[in-house]
């Protein structure tokens, strides 16, 4: 058997099928291609066509009707159309001749007839001529590749075949890893984009008829893509030994697994092994199936095949001999014994009555060696239950016959029966009597037979590789990849499941290459829990579509592509996968997929595109995370979802993104996804549900929150968080008519005045200038007392987003508390608390632009870059430190140099009134600001004590006292009687009159000598002591300034308490009403000072 030629013939027909269908669809646009093709076939070909149609299952691709049996007939029937297509009839005639020649070669191969080298070379050449004639260059290349390949299997577990990669592979730890698609190659149908996923729906009936998918009907192609599992090897050895006539444990074997468990594939394997007989060992693809001491000793074993679609339970099946067969026993008798065998039980078949053992045994004895393959019998019995036979049904008769058949097979040498059964009644056509049928069949087959599992759990890795890839690549490249993954997993072992750092897991990765094992296990373990999911077939179908998509896009793939991960799955390109999800979970999951996982409107996509230059965007990490979690959300409640460790195992790659970026992307997704859920019970795990989560409600609430709501929340927070600031007076978002401020004041501008640190915008500049220069409609006098704090535009944007989240949660808590579930209520409370904390931090960070206005310099600004934990500390510490460093503020003292440069240092000719000095620092914005009177007072005291200048008390030039090298008691910098004078000006001598008076009072003697007589003592009144004193009354407006020097300063160290009462009356010149500017100023001042305002 020439394996390469057999494979080339399979590739050729698979390429011709889409060509024929496409050609007919193009030439006959308004008609179904099957009808046009069938109409032009000759009667015998039409009969073959009809049989093929009957054998097709619901999953079968209709293109399979195009086969070698009618390929040359197509060229003949549509010669005129092909002439038009190829340009002349000569080319069309060539095509007919080539196809006929290829069909003849294929028939020889199917019947294991030997071909010499010339015939083989000619066959390859003829296929290439057809491919060139029909302009199919990829097919020409593929045929050449197959022809020149060594005639041995492309995949062997023990000795993998290398690819074009170098035999010696060496890469540094930091070098990019070789992509999987440079080391392994998918099968031709995947590479050329012609993959039809129905190819994974094996059909035993089609194989028995010699039609259908080449991958099943062509034994060379079939075994090339079949991994021989331990179960398949076991059953193959049993069957061959039994057919050889050797004693075996049991010749009745049942295969009972769930959907896609490999049952039909096993039956097709046994069909080809038995049909091949002694020629089995001539193919490199089949030499390793049997044990070394086992070989077929038979040439023409009989094989009977019965499936759910073999015979219609009502109308039966008409054979080429013109008889109609109605039952299972009729089919087996006809297939094993021909007309002669059928006639033995003809009456039983027509009457649909199960034959006795003595009627059926002769048929088996005469046909031995014989293999009976029965597939999907439970489904057939379900349909047969509708056909009434006497007081029972055809199903009852069929089940009864199976007991007879098992007994007869067990008693007749060289006969084997293999029957498949579903794992549960739910797989039996959803029938009410499904469990009854299954139980009855199990009692009759399993009771006397042996049950074998075709595919063990981890064999699925090898099954997948063999089925999808031409080879497994250079083993040195594989080991390089595995070593890098091993190092990555070891270094990140604390962030991954325990098994990731074990050699057993690396071995599992070796088996699954080029897939990451978590991708296969996702389908095998999680999806496979659903009995509707066909495990082996389903896994193959989904993985094939993934490989096809990635292979097609391989030129545009970025990042590490050493293995195929769950995060590499692009659901947008995989309708097969999304269709399976909605089929298993419900159509509502379509909404889940598009809302959170795929598409430009999905939340995952939006996160990835926030910054395409970071790793989250570069690797589409959020979409990969969402896809992985979605795929893990299928399955039962106990096994759905992933922990963060399991998620990282699914998607982490060497030399790619950091594991912490997975956390970051997941956190972002959790905040916005509409259908993502998580739990903190045990390890935190994540999964999707079709029920919307609280984010939907949050988004609805966010839509109802206005800009004014957010601005109001900012103002409220600023008021609350600056209420206890004592180091500086704070006015939050005040009106433009701010009263005069004689103490250091910080005006915090509202959020509408957000600006950029580098350039103050026009709106903010105008507002600062308005407050700095004016108090209402009059000019501001004290212009060096106000600083301004504005927020940055970037900071405001971040604060706005967080407050929107906070207010939305607050709204839900207030309005929907009784409508949401306890878990959601808890979620809202936790989110609100977290958003509140984050908003406070962002508020501090946002308000980081300090401004100062001066006539000469305009607006100067400082950007605060250090942030405290609370607003009070931010203002009292960080803001103060910044304005002191910039020398905007003098906190403790005023330097002598500053006094001199400001013209406020005394000279002999020009003393400086202390109040004028103080007022100068408050009024004139060309000077530094001061914290208050203490700054001036302490500076004057220090310089007076040091002797830098003196302090005089009294009227200018007529001082009552001059302080020199001493402190000034009760110094009040606002009192106009204090002066700074030159240090050379000291206390003056007393006048003569004054001296005489003193002398006179001191000396009570006309001689001027001191009297020795002591005046008689005078009665002395006892000293009165007071607990407190209180001064009250009315003071003329023009004398209001005397209150400070007369009462406030002298009594300031006596626990002075001040109660004030102002009463103003409306006049014709100055009426008082709500619109009056003076009323607004008074009201604002009273509010700022915490005073009560009463109106009559």
CA distances from 594 to 55, 446, 588, 611, 700 (A): 39, 47, 11, 21, 19
Per the model's pLDDT, the better-predicted residue between 858 and 436 turns out to be 858
User: Who's near 1004: CB < 8 A, 6+ residues apart?
Assistant: 1011, 1013, 1015
pLDDT band at 863 (very low <50, low <70, confident <90, very high): very high
Residue pointed to by tokens 């109001």: 712
The answer on pLDDT for 311 being more than 80 is yes
Q: 114 falls in which pLDDT band (50, 70, 90)?
A: confident
Compute the average pLDDT of residues 318-326: 90
Q: Is the pLDDT of residue 376 over 70?
A: yes
Nearest one of 622, 620, 630, 646 to 517, comparing CA atoms: 646
Overall average pLDDT of the 924-941 stretch:
93
Q: Are 807 and 713 in contact (CB under 8 A)?
A: yes
Q: Which residues, including other chains, have CB under 8 Å from residue 575's CB and lie 6 or more apart?
A: none
| Confidence bin at 355 (pLDDT 50/70/90) | very high
Q: Within 10 Å of residue 1021's Cβ, how many Cβ atoms?
A: 5
Please give the angle made by the CA atoms of 990, 993 and 999, to the nearest 5 degrees.
85
* Per-residue pLDDT at 448 exceeds 60: no
Judged against a pLDDT cut of 80, whether residue 94 lies above it is answered with: yes
pLDDT higher than threshold 50 for residue 154: no
Whether residue 367 has pLDDT greater than 90: yes
Q: How confident is the model at residue 168 (pLDDT cuts 50, 70, 90)?
A: very low
Terminal CA-to-CA distance of the chain, rounded, Å?
A: 117
Q: What integer is the mean pLDDT of 646-672? A: 93
What is the pLDDT at residue 59?
66
Rg (CA), the chain: 49
- What is the distance, to the nearest Å, from the Cα of residue 331 to the centroid of all Cα atoms in its chain? 55
Q: Which CATH superfamily is domain 230-454 in?
A: P-loop containing nucleotide triphosphate hydrolases (3.40.50.300)
| pLDDT recorded at residue 451 | 59
- Coil/strand/helix, residue 857: coil
Model confidence band, residue 895 (pLDDT cutoffs 50, 70, 90): very high
| CA–CA distance, 896 with 903 (Å, rounded to integer) | 11
Mean pLDDT of 511-524: 93
Backbone angles phi, psi at 256, to 5 degrees: -130, 105
Q: Tell me the H-state helices in 563-620.
A: 575-585, 589-592, 603-608, 615-618
Which residues contact residue 518 at a Cβ distance below 8 angstroms, ignoring those fewer than 6 apart? 565, 566, 646, 649, 650
The yes-or-no verdict on residue 930 having pLDDT over 90 is: yes
Spatial CA neighbour of 799 closest among 837, 826, 770: 837
Give the residue-averaged pLDDT of 733-743: 90
Contact 399, 436 (CB under 8 A): no
Name the most confidently modeled range: 110-124, 633-647, 937-951: 937-951
- SS3 state of residue 736: coil
Per domain, the residue ranges of the chain are 3-151, 230-454, 458-692, 709-885, 894-993, 1037-1089
Q: State the pLDDT at residue 304.
A: 95
DSSP state of 186: B
887/927 Cα distance (integer angstroms): 10
Q: How many degrees, rounded to 5, is the angle at CA 845 between CA 841 and CA 846?
A: 115
Closest listed residue to residue 200, CA positions, set 236, 176, 225, 231? 225
- Distances in Å between the Cα of 67 and the Cα atoms of 18, 27, 49, 73 are 11, 20, 10, 10
Q: For residue 817, what pLDDT band results from cuts at 50, 70 and 90? A: confident
| Backbone angle region of 930, left / alpha / beta, with phi > 0 → left and psi within -120 to 50 → alpha | beta
Q: Does residue 1001 register a pLDDT over 60?
A: no
Please name which of 1021, 938, 937, 999 lies closest in space to residue 972, comparing C-alpha atoms: 937
- Asked if residue 412 has pLDDT above 50, the reply is yes
Q: How far is CA 340 from CA 26, 32, 583, in A?
A: 48, 41, 48
Question: Which has more confidence, 535 or 999?
Answer: 535
* Bridge partners of residue 374, in order along the sequence: 306, 419
pLDDT at 175 over 90: no
What mean pLDDT do residues 767-775 have?
Answer: 93
- Grade residue 640 by pLDDT with cuts at 50, 70 and 90: confident
Tens digit of each residue's pLDDT (9 = 90 or more) over 332-354: 999 999 999 999 999 999 999 99
Q: Is the pLDDT of residue 997 over 50?
A: no
Of residues 224 and 372, more confidence is placed in: 372
In the prediction, which pLDDT does 429 show? Answer: 55
Could you tell me what percent of the chain has a pLDDT over 70? 89
Burial status of residue 282 (CB atoms within 10 A of its CB: 0-12, 13-18, 19 or more):
middle
Helix (H/G/I), strand (E/B), else coil: 712 = helix
**pLDDT of the residue at 396:** 92
Mean pLDDT of all residues belonging to the chain: 86
Give all strands (DSSP E) within 384-491, no chain letters: 388-389, 392-393, 415-422, 450-451
Model-level pTM? 0.65
**Is 380 buried (19+), middle (13-18) or exposed (0-12) by CB count in 10 A?**
buried
Tokens 């034994």 sit on residue: 219
Q: Which residue has the higher pLDDT, 896 or 536?
A: 896
Residue 954 β-bridge partners:
959
pLDDT bin (cut points 50, 70, 90) of residue 699 is: confident
At 153 the pLDDT is: 47
The confidence score (pLDDT) of residue 528 equals: 81
Q: Predicted confidence band at 162 (pLDDT cuts at 50, 70, 90)?
A: very low
Token reading at 1009 = 């000598």
Q: How far apart are CA 809 and CA 815, in angstroms?
A: 10
pLDDT, position 1003: 36
pLDDT higher than threshold 50 for residue 1007: no
Q: Which two tokens stand for residue 921?
A: 């620092």
Residue 1052 has pLDDT above 80, yes or no: no
Residue 883 has pLDDT above 50, yes or no: yes
Given a contact cutoff of 8 angstroms between Cβ atoms, the answer to whether 143 and 131 are in contact is yes
Residue 361 scores a pLDDT above 90 = yes
Q: Which band of pLDDT confidence, cut at 50, 70 and 90, is reported for residue 846?
A: very high
Q: What is the pLDDT of residues 120-134, one digit of tens each?
A: 999 999 999 999 999
Instruction: Please tell me which residue, 74 or 1095, carries the higher pLDDT value.
Output: 74
Asked whether residue 165 carries a pLDDT value surpassing 70, the answer given is: no
Lowest pLDDT segment from 217-231, 717-731, 972-986, 1031-1045: 1031-1045
In the predicted model, what is the mean pLDDT of residues 194-211? 76
Q: What is the mean pLDDT of residues 413-423?
A: 87
What pLDDT, on the 0 to 100 scale, is given for residue 421? 82
Q: Are 594 and 548 in contact (CB under 8 A)?
A: no
Of residues 575 and 444, which shows the higher confidence score?
Answer: 575
pLDDT at residue 788 in the model: 97
Q: What is the mean pLDDT of residues 100-108?
A: 90
Angle at CA of residue 577, ends 572 and 581, nearest 5°: 110
CA distances from residue 678 to 87, 241, 633, 663, 666 in whole angstroms, order as listed: 65, 56, 11, 14, 11
163 band by pLDDT with thresholds 50, 70 and 90 = very low
Among candidates 340, 332, 333, which has minimal Cα distance to 373? 332
- The reply to whether omega before 369 is within 30° of 0 (cis) is yes
């Amino acid at each position: 058997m020439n394996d390469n030629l057999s494979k080339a013939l399979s590739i050729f027909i698979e390429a011709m099928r889409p060509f024929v269908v496409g050609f007919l669809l193009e030439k006959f646009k308004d008609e179904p291609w099957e009808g046009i093709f069938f109409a032009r076939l000759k009667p015998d070909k039409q009969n073959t066509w009809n049989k093929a149609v009957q054998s097709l299952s619901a999953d079968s691709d209709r293109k399979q009707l195009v086969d070698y049996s009618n390929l040359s007939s197509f060229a003949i029937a549509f010669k005129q159309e092909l002439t038009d297509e190829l340009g002349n009839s000569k080319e069309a005639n060539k095509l007919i001749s080539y196809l006929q020649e290829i069909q003849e070669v294929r028939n020889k191969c199917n019947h294991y007839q030997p071909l010499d080298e010339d015939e083989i070379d000619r066959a390859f050449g003829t296929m290439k001529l057809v491919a060139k004639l029909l302009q199919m260059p990829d097919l020409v290349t593929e045929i050449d590749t197959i022809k020149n390949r060594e005639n041995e299997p492309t995949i062997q577990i023990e000795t993998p075949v290398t690819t074009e990669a170098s035999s010696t592979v060496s890469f540094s730890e930091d070098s990019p890893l070789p992509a999987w698609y440079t080391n392994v190659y998918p099968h031709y149908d995947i590479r050329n984009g012609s993959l039809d996923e129905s190819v994974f729906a094996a059909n035993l009936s089609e194989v028995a008829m010699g039609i259908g998918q080449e991958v099943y009907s062509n034994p060379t192609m079939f075994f090339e893509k079949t991994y021989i599992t331990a179960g398949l090897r076991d059953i193959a050895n049993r069957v061959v030994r039994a057919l050889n006539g050797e004693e075996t444990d049991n010749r009745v074997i049942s295969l009972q697994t769930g959907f896609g468990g490999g049952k039909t594939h096993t039956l097709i394997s046994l069909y080809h092994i038995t049909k091949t007989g002694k020629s089995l060992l001539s193919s490199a693809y089949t030499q390793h199936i049997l044990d070394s001491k086992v070989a077929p000793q038979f040439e023409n074993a009989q094989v009977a095949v019965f499936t759910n679609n073999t015979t219609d339970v009502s109308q039966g099946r008409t054979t080429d001999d013109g008889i109609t067969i109605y039952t299972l026993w009729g089919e087996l008798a006809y297939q094993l014994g021909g007309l002669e065998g059928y006639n033995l039980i003809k009456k039983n078949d027509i009457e649909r009555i199960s034959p006795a053992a003595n009627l059926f045994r002769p048929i088996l004895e005469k046909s031995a060696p014989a293999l009976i393959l029965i597939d999907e019998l439970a489904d057939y019995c379900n349909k047969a239950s509708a056909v009434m036979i006497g007081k029972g049904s055809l199903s009852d008769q069929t089940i009864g016959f199976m007991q007879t058949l098992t007994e007869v097979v067990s008693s007749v040498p060289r006969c084997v029966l293999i029957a498949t059964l579903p794992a549960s009644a739910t797989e039996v056509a959803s029938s009410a009597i499904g469990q009854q049928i299954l139980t009855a069949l199990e009692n009759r087959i399993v009771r006397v037979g042996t049950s074998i599992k075709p595919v063990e759990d981890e064999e699925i890795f090898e099954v997948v590789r063999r089925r999808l890839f031409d080879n497994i690549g250079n083993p040195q490249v594989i080991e390089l990849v595995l070593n890098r993954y091993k190092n990555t997993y070891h270094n990140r072992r604390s962030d991954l499941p325990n098994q990731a750092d074990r050699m057993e897991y690396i071995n599992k990765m070796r088996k699954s290459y080029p897939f990451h094992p978590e991708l296969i296990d996702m389908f095998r373990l999680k999806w496979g829990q659903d009995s509707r999911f066909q495990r082996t077939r389903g896994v193959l179908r989904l993985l094939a579509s993934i490989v096809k998509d990635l292979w097609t896009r391989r030129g545009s793939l970025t990042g590490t592509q050493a293995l195929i991960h769950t995060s590499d799955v692009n659901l947008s390109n995989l309708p097969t996968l999304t269709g399976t999800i909605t089929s298993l979970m419900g159509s509502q999951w379509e909404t889940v997929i598009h809302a959170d996982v795929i598409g430009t409107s999905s939340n995952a996509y939006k996160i990835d595109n926030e910054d395409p230059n970071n790793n989250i965007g570069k690797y589409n990490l959020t979409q990969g995370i969402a896809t992985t979690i979605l795929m893990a959300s299928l399955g039962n409640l106990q096994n759905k979802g992933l922990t963060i460790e399991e998620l990282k195992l699914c998607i982490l790659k060497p030399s790619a993104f950091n594991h912490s970026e997975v956390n970051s992307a997941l956190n972002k997704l959790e905040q916005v996804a509409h259908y993502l859920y998580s739990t903190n019970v045990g390890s935190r795990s994540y999964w999707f549900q079709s029920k919307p989560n609280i984010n939907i409600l949050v988004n609805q609430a966010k839509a109802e929150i206005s800009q004014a709501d957010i601005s109001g929340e900012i103002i409220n927070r600023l008021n609350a968080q600056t209420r206890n600031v004592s180091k500086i007076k704070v006015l939050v978002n005040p009106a433009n008519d701010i009263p005069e401020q004689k103490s250091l004041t910080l005006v915090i501008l509202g959020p509408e005045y957000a600006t950029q640190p580098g350039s103050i915008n026009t709106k903010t500049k105008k507002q600062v200038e308005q407050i700095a220069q004016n108090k209402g409609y009059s000019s501001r006098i004290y212009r060096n007392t106000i600083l301004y704090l504005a927020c940055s535009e970037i900071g405001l944007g971040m604060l706005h987003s967080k407050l929107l989240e906070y207010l939305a949660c607050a709204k839900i808590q207030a309005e929907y508390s009784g409508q949401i579930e306890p878990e959601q209520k808890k979620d809202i409370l936790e989110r609100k608390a977290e958003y509140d904390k984050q908003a406070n931090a962002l508020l501090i960070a946002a308000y980081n632009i300090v401004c100062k206005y001066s006539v000469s310099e305009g607006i100067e600004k400082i950007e605060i870059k250090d942030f405290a934990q609370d607003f009070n500390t931010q203002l009292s510490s960080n803001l103060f430190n910044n304005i002191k460093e910039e020398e905007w503020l003098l906190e403790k003292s005023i330097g002598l140099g500053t006094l001199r440069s400001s013209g406020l240092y005394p000279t002999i000719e020009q003393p400086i009134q202390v109040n004028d000095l103080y007022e100068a620092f408050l009024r004139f914005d060309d000077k530094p600001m001061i914290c208050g009177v203490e700054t001036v007072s302490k500076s004057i005291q220090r310089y007076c004590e040091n002797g830098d200048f003196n302090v005089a008390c009294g009227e200018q030039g007529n001082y009552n006292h001059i302080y020199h090298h001493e402190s000034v008691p009760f110094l009040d910098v606002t009192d106009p009687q204090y002066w700074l004078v030159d240090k050379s000006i000291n206390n003056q001598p007393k006048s003569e009159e004054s001296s005489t008076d003193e002398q006179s009072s001191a000396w009570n003697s006309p001689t001027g000598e001191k009297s020795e007589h002591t005046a008689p003592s005078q009665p002395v009144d006892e000293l009165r002591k007071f607990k407190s004193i209180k001064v009250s009354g009315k003071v003329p407006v023009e004398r209001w300034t005397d209150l400070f020097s007369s009462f406030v300063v002298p009594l300031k160290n006596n626990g002075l308490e001040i109660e004030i009462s102002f009463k103003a009356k409306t006049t014709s010149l100055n009426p008082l009403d709500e619109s009056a500017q003076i009323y607004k100023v008074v009201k604002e001042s009273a509010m700022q000072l915490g005073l009560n305002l009463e109106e009559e």
